[in-house]
Amino acid sequence: MMDHFDFGGEIMWRPDAATIEAANLTAFMRRYHIGSYDELLKRSTDDIGWFWDAVIRDMEFVFDRAYEKMLDLSGGIEWPKWCIGGRMNIVKSLLHRWMNTPTADKNAVIAEHDDGSVDTLTYRQLKNRVDAAAAGLVGRGIRPGDVVGVFLPMNADCVVAMLAVIHIGAIFLPLFSGYGAGAIVSRLSDSKARAMITCAGVQRRGKFVSMGAIADEVNSSLRDAGQGIDLIDFASLSAAKPQAAIEPYIANAEDPMMLIYTSGTTGKPKGAVHTHCGFPIKAASDAWLGLDLKADETIWWMTDMGWMMGPWLVFSALAVGATMVTYDGGPDYPGVDRLWHIAARHGVTTLGVSPTLIRSLLIHGKEPVKKHDLSKLRKFASTGEPWNPQPWKWLFNAVGEGKRPIINYSGGTEISGGILMSNVLHPMAACAFAGPLPGMDVDVVDENGKSVRGQVGELVLRKPWIGQTRGFLNDRQRYLDAYWSKIPGVWVHGDFAAVDDNGQWYILGRSDDTIKVAGKRLGPAEIESILVAHTKVKEAAVIGVPDEIKGQAIVCFVVLKDGARDEESGAEAPGLEAELRSMIIREQGKPLAPKAIIFVRDLPKTRNAKIMRRVIRSAYLGQDPGDLSSLENPSAVEAIRSGKDNPELP
């Protein structure tokens, strides 16, 4: 462990009195006579049943039969049951509850497409389209409990399909719109899916991508394996005209509602199970209390329905009566200002991004931002990976004009949202979190499970929460091994974290990315922040590799900005490797000097711009990189493996 942790937590933003007074958190605490955020955290974790019951009541989630008991831990902390005896369908909380209110006729979805065209649906129109699609699914023989994959672009149709599946009591399985056939087959096969909703294709970066052809290949592979599946063209569902609206199927609150697969360090993805009273309530609570999302807002998160933040966006926006924006194109197409153009065009008030996305845009400077009126933007949100200070400060200053907060958010698919989050009540330091979300009993511990402050440790949860995954489909033991095996009775999340002397919390990367050099433990973000501070470096990824003497050694992968390479040879600028090495030694000391600095043209990333360090490490070491289906750019893996960008790469 590091003896002392200091990320340089300079306070960059402070809330004014008006912001604090108007905050959802302030209203919630006053309602329950709670005097401070620390008091709220304590009460919400001392009595977790009280907290989640209060959230359900205050956010007015609809139950057709009230639950008799909030929480049952008779199966152990690993297997909690929530809202015992309650019956519901979460779609009623997202759509039906608004039909006799002014919200019914406000925009629920604004969907912009790659070519600039836009579709809009009011809450009433969305409900009508969901009703029609639900009737179409029932007409195709889909029944409660059937798993239905949704392989569609991130647009209004995708939202309709998602809600229609849940409406009839089936289990929604989101599939990344950029998947190839193999990734889809593995998920549909493991889940024994009954059907998949898809479309002919989508235009991306000006070119047609045939999703229908991929779907046909999936169907052929599944037939060969003896699994029948109904391929449903979304257009046929949309055209369905039922004689009467099909009422939502009223399920047990703990019935499975959604199944999301996440990639692991082995080849087989993990199917996280979520229920009607689980994921949606946790996600919406985070948006309401952490993000301070209000009904008069328009929220856009640059994501895909196949990633956790896609469903999160739908549940959160509709639960509070806000408007969501979706987009199914590239963030820099046809120009590098596309992100800012969309935010301005649709009056986005809350913009969700990833650090890597911002790193890719900041190299173009402020001019693309200044072309657009972002006056309606109130705040940013970020998730996906740890920040480096430079891109955080660029977003805050160049785009946020030094006055818009960046709500940092970290958790995961199995969490249904966040563990740590910033909020509008607390001052913000670059890259930091205010602390745990209410209802989350969070700690940072050493190798022995002892709480630590001012040094790096494992991020853990000591009590259950309503969004906790109900396990991995068909793999009970893998779920226990993944989260509960290191410290009995404690969820070990797999993130490397620290709390500094000022009470600011930091996520420093996955703990399986953790590097331990001669007994000194550090997170990749610490070295990456040094590298990307150089004017010629666009982005970086740092891994630990086996070393006979030190245990592990540091290897850095660096992507240079345009113009930083020699135009004729394509090689890095002369002397840059030595310069970067010296920067690391100056900041971290000689014992943490890198074994190698390798210049590459791209880093393996998911479509929402999350850098996959485990994949980089496996490729570098010549090992099986595991599941690559979520990667946007698999060619980057081969370049690392083969050393095409650097002849010295082993």
Burial (0-12, 13-18, 19+ Cβ within 10 Å), 318: buried
In this structure, the answer to whether residues 494 and 586 fall within a common structural domain is no
User: Domain of 402?
Assistant: 15-506
Dist CA 354 CA 243 (whole Å): 45
> Per the domain annotation, does 648 fall within a domain?
no
Dist CA 207 CA 201 (whole Å): 10
- For residue 266, what pLDDT is reported? 43
> Per the domain annotation, does 2 fall within a domain?
no
Mean pLDDT rounded to a whole number for the chain? 91
Total Cβ atoms within 10 A of residue 259: 23
- For residue 562, what pLDDT is reported? 84
- Residue 149's closest CA among 189, 111, 178, 182? 189
In this structure, the answer to whether residues 443 and 524 fall within a common structural domain is no
User: Length of the chain, please?
Assistant: 650
Rg of the chain over all Cα atoms, to the nearest angstrom: 24
In this structure, the answer to whether residues 197 and 303 fall within a common structural domain is yes
DSSP for 273-330, written as a single string: EEETTTHHHHHHHIIIIIS---TT-EEEE---TTSTHHHHHHHHHHHHT-EEEEE-S-
The CATH number assigned to the domain holding 330 equals: 3.40.50.12780
In this structure, the answer to whether residues 22 and 101 fall within a common structural domain is yes
> Per the domain annotation, does 6 fall within a domain?
no
Cα angle for residues 259, 121, 164 (degrees, 5° grid): 30
- For residue 243, what pLDDT is reported? 61
Total Cβ atoms within 10 A of residue 635: 12
In this structure, the answer to whether residues 248 and 281 fall within a common structural domain is yes
- For residue 649, what pLDDT is reported? 36
- For residue 537, what pLDDT is reported? 94
- For residue 323, what pLDDT is reported? 98
Q: Which of the residues in the chain have pLDDT under 50?
A: 1-4, 265-267, 567-570, 644-650
Instruction: Report the domain count for the chain.
Output: 2
Dist CA 405 CA 291 (whole Å): 10
> Per the domain annotation, does 410 fall within a domain?
yes
Cα angle for residues 106, 112, 116 (degrees, 5° grid): 130
> Which domain-ending residue is among 472, 506, 540?
506
> Per the domain annotation, does 573 fall within a domain?
yes
> Per the domain annotation, does 34 fall within a domain?
yes
- For residue 181, what pLDDT is reported? 86
- For residue 569, what pLDDT is reported? 43
> Which domain-ending residue is among 447, 475, 506?
506
Percent residues over pLDDT 70 in the chain = 93
In this structure, the answer to whether residues 491 and 520 fall within a common structural domain is no
- For residue 647, what pLDDT is reported? 37
574-583 long-range contacts, CB within 8 A, separation 24+: 576/536, 579/534, 580/531, 580/534, 580/537, 580/556, 583/530, 583/531, 583/533, 583/534
- For residue 388, what pLDDT is reported? 84
- For residue 572, what pLDDT is reported? 60
> Per the domain annotation, does 7 fall within a domain?
no
